[in-house]
Structure 1
Amino acid sequence: MSKLNRTYCKNPMFLVLYLSFLILILGACSQKEQVKLKVPVKNEKPKSPVTSAIGDKWKLPISIPEGEFSKLAGWLSENQVLYITNLEQTSSIYRYNLLSGKNELIYKSEYPIVNVVISPSKKSILIHASHSPSEGIVTVIDTKGAEILKKSFQSYELGFEWNPFNETQVLVTKFAEDWSFQVLLVDLRKSTTSELDVPQPFIKWLARNEIAFINWDEDHPSSYAPLNVKNIVNKSEKTLFPSLIDFSTFQDLLMTISVNEQDQSVASYSFFDKKQKRLAVFSMPQLTRYSDWLVPFYDYNEQKRQFITFKPLSSGDADSYTDGFQLIIYNLKNDSSSLVMEGLDNEPMILSPTGEALLYGNRFEKIIDLDAKKIYELINE
């Protein structure tokens, strides 16, 4: 027997103290090991990687070089927008890079600019300037400011529709002061203008040589009417749908809005390919006005096949509706919808080329990062 063991046997108190010391040492070691391993708490959520929103990279608000801000005109690319400024009786068009914060003057008009319409390919810009209350000057330029066409139209107001299938053609609707109208086909390549025999002023291109319009009957006013299609070459005309509220066309898509047959308080949005095959449909509450229906603003991104619009929370009278609108995205690829934001006003919108951002507001003075769901002010006024 060793000398230490003999000591334990002879002195029981020493044995108790020794064992207590060992327990303390082992307990401390065990605690240190637990601290080292740091076993996670059962309900502890792992930290997600920090990602920066696209909007946080934008250089905002825009610093206006000269004059007063009038409005945004639209997108030239994913990171470039056009805006208009006014100085006394002149107007200017600037290109602004959201990432670099660089302003670039691309056109100066000696008359006030009423409207700017960017072509579908973003390669051309149509400018409507007002020389007098009864005359409009239309100038088409490229994105560097070089003039392609300039024409004067005797009119009280003008409407425009680029042909997305052939951008050398633009429909120009001339309104007189009594709202009588003429529809003109302007050929940019030939610098020619020809009148079209069309019964309605608000027209959209359905194909390269086909235009579409809702054929409202002035003698028998109604809140819906048939959608007609006319070939501008052979003059043939046919009815596509017998009863619609509104419609829109895109290069790969036709969208129609109709009253739900089972419930008049609901609007049905249908999407068709170019052969009129229905691809998808969804419904949402409908707001009524005195003589028609309120169609909330919308846009469509062909690249993502996503339709974005404002959705009211309930049906009812548009004038008394105060509950705000949800901004929703409907995905045609998988027939699903998602909520972006809510509590917004129903105001005009333009999607960016990739569908990542949205110009928003009556002057497009706001921009929404759709992924981060954040609104940024473009102008500090």
Structure 2
Amino acid sequence: MSLYKRKINIKYMFQIMFLLIFTSFFSACTHQQDAKPSPSKEIDKDNNKPSQPVAAWKLPIKIPEGEFYKVGSWFSDHQLLYITNLEQSSSVYFYNLLTGKSELLYKSEFPIVTLQVSPSKKYILIQTSPSTYEGQVIILSSEGSELMKQSFPSYELAFEWNPFNESEILISAFKEDWTYQMLLLNIEQSKTTELSIPQPFIKWVGKDEVAYLNWDETSPSLFAPLMSKKIGAEGEEVLFNDVLQFSTYHNILMTVTARDEEQLQASYRFYNKDKKELYSFSIPHLTMFSGWLVPYHDFNESKGKFITLKPLKSAEADAYSEGFELISYDINKGISNMILQGMKNEPIQLSPSGEAALYGNRFEKIIHLKTKEISELVDK
């Protein structure tokens, strides 16, 4: 299978490296406030009492074997998937927050790098690392049965589930010089097809349609047009101009742009399938060598709840040390709520109900969004 090859200039290489670092589980802003997170003063009447499920959670996790590596994902409101390491091997466990019991799902002879769950929880993707230049992708059923295994010559892999057809996963396989090969993995057919798409970081906006930022290699800038393209078809369409970053969900598209010509704030805009704007808000932004730092965020589409870490002011990321506020936005009702202050810019993932969130570089904490408390998942 031939590789899609192209020389990448220095600026474009930094853009790719920045995006890889941003999507990596371990990445985070290195200059952050070390103050202990504190709840906001705005406490709703319904938040004064902890909810029953949260009160019943059994923590910390007692690791059956090996050392805790990281939590991979929520599996349900009361179940987590976490990874442990023992010498060169890794194991994946289900953890039930209500019973306090761990159940072995899968054991790998190689270190596990990535764990992702498909949108409906039908499949579990595990990436292992047999060597520096090889990534092995294993697809499991929710019961732990191995459905597919394939190795890819690569230095780094990025994945994107198709929420409209969960048997499909886009894989960007990067070489050490950041040239890449774009692949479409079909679980049901157990096959991989090479695609020709001009950018490595793409997201699904339809069953057979993807979107990507079309960065110009010859004239690098902070913003790029957001394009859409049908898989296997010629041509592409401009969705929006001057976009810094974007995210897609089943029926929602979110873009991050500049609020005005002075670029004093970052503007987050939410659109439906017809590209009609549903909601927007603006926050201060932090500048970096290769662009702006977009803080970690997540969106629960069924609840219309978007959460993000918000800097207190616009500044250079390297010099910023004032911490972040965790803010929740309801895009259906058009309201926002401050949850915690003095936070670090670290990965965050909402639970299926949207009432709690995994937080931290290893998702080693849980934030209870109603009580505004943080619980440690493992003993330090």
Say yes or no: TM over 0.5: yes
Q: Is the 8 A contact 2:47 2:370 kept in 1?
A: no
3-state SS of the aligned residue for 1:371? coil
Q: Which residue does the alignment assign to 1:306? A: 305
Determine the structure 1 residue equivalent to 2:142: 143
Residue deviations 1:101-121 (CA, integer Å, cap 9, x gap): 010001000111011111111
Offset from partner CA, 1:281-328 (integer Å, 9 cap, x none):
111111111120010000001121011101111111111111110100
The 5-angstrom pairing of residues 67-82 of structure 1 reads 67-82=66-81
Aligned to 1:247: 246
The alpha carbon displacement at 1:58 in A equals 1.1
Please tell me the residue identity of whatever aligns with 2:105: I
Unaligned runs of 5+ in 2: 1-44
SS at match of 1:160: strand
- Residue equivalent to 1:123: 122
Alpha-carbon distance, 1:199 to partner: 1.2
Gaps of 5+ in 1: 1-46
The CA distance in 1 between the partners of 2:58 and 2:109, in whole Å, is 30
Match of 1:258 in 2: 257
- C-alpha distance in 2 between matches for 1:51 and 1:250: 32
Aligned-partner SS, 1:59: coil
Deviation per residue, 1:194-245 (Å, 9 max, x gap): 1111111111111111011111112111111110111004233111111100
Q: How big is each residue's C-alpha offset from its partner over 1:237-267, in whole Å with a ceiling of 9 and x where there is no partner?
A: 1111111000000001000000112441201
SS of equivalent to 1:152: strand
Contact 1:95 1:104 in 2 (8 A): yes
Q: Distance in 1 between matches of 2:50 and 2:323?
A: 29
TM-score norm. by structure 1 comes to 0.86
Could you tell me the TM-score, scaled by structure 2's length?
A: 0.86
How many pairs were matched up? Answer: 335
Q: Which of the two has higher C-alpha Rg?
A: 1
From 42, 48, 51, give the equivalent of 2:49: 51
* Alignment partner, residue 108 of structure 1: 107
Alignment of 1:322-337 (within 5 A): 322-337=321-336
Greater than 2 Å deviation, 4+ residue runs: 47-56, 233-236
Partner SS for 2:327: strand
Any residues of structure 2 matched to 1:232-381 within 5 Å, and which?
A: 232-381=231-380
AA partner of residue 118 (structure 1)? V
Change (3 A) 1:50 1:189: closer
**What's the % identity of the aligned pairs?**
53
SS at match of 2:54: helix
Amino acid at match of 1:145: G
Secondary structure of residue in 2 paired with 1:200: coil
Cα distance change on mapping 1:240 and 1:102 into 2, 3 Å: same
Cα distance in 2 for partners of 1:96, 1:56 equals 16
Asked if residue 63 in structure 1 is aligned to residue 58 in structure 2, the reply is no
